[in-house]
């Protein structure tokens, strides 16, 4: 995941992005397994793992609606957006819209 210099992504967000990117491949195991594996690789604590699951499952659950919102804001076809950028934007939109305990500056 690409993050601005001096501002590392949280283990939860790294794990959610990793799982979401791997879930794009139809030959991978279910999202629950992908999230747990990603949390282990990211060294996510219990609270971070819970947030990673919330983000990854939320993006999967609301993908069509999130894609619709994203398509209205991106100047190029979504198919041309790099997968990592695409998934990061979907996760950001999901957090902004659905997770009221995460302040906007933390997105």
The token duo for 11 is: 């283990």
Reduce the DSSP state of residue 27 to 3 states and report it.
coil
- Name the nearest CA neighbour of 17 among 78, 61, 45, 59: 59
Per-residue burial over 17-34, b = 16 or more CB atoms within 10 Å of its CB, e = otherwise: bbbbbbbeeeeeeebeeb
Residues ≥6 apart with Cβ < 8 Å to 57: 31, 35
* Tens-digit pLDDT string for the chain (107 aa): 444 555 677 889 999 999 999 999 889 889 999 999 999 998 889 889 999 999 999 999 999 999 999 999 999 998 999 999 999 999 999 999 999 877 666 65
How much is the pTM? 0.84
Helix (H) or strand (E) holding 90: helix 83-98
């Amino acid at each position: 995941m690409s993050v601005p210099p001096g501002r590392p992504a949280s283990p939860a967000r790294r794990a959610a992005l990793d799982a979401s990117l791997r879930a794009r491949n139809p030959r991978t195991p279910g999202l629950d397994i992908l999230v747990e594996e990603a949390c282990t690789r990211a060294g996510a604590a219990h609270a971070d793992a819970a947030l990673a699951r919330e983000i990854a499952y939320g993006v999967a659950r609301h993908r069509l609606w999130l894609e619709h919102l994203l398509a209205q804001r991106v100047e190029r076809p979504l198919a041309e957006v790099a997968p990592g950028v695409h998934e990061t934007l979907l996760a950001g939109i999901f957090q902004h819209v659905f997770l009221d305990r995460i302040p906007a500056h933390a997105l």
